[in-house]
Amino acid sequence: MSLSIIFSCIYLSIVAVSMLFFTSSPALFIAYMVMSLLTFALYAKDKRAAIKGQWRTKESTLHLFSLLGGWPGALLAQAKLRHKTQKQPFKAILWMSIIGNISAFLWALTAQGQAVLQPILANLLSN
């Protein structure tokens, strides 16, 4: 198993455990899982398109999905599909989006983050 898959599994475990100790919403864990599945699917689609010489997914789209929480799926796709693993600028931006996403998650666990996010989540869940 690759280090990136282990890293993703550990992180998702931390997100799950945060529901117990930091009262983070289960919706957050579900969002990570959904975004990871979508991001993995985008990578798979792009890999297929690359092989067939068809229209490709924009790199900015792949990065956006990673930044929004799909980065565990991106790392899994890179490891399993061997896609987007050699292009250095792409890898650097991916890791910047991972750091940005983890930073946002950690901020969301603080009192200030909770104060900002609770009304937003309440509004989203009530609609």
Please return the burial class of 127, using the count of CB atoms within 10 Å of its CB with bins 0-12, 13-18 and 19+: exposed
Task: Grade residue 24 by pLDDT with cuts at 50, 70 and 90.
Answer: low
Which range (28-32, 59-63, 68-72) has the least confidence?
28-32
Q: How far apart are alpha carbons 70 and 37 in whole angstroms? A: 7
pLDDT confidence of residue 5: 87
**DSSP H or E segment with residue 22:** none
Asked whether the whole model's pTM tops 0.85, one would answer no
Query: Comparing 126 with 77, which gets the higher pLDDT?
Result: 77
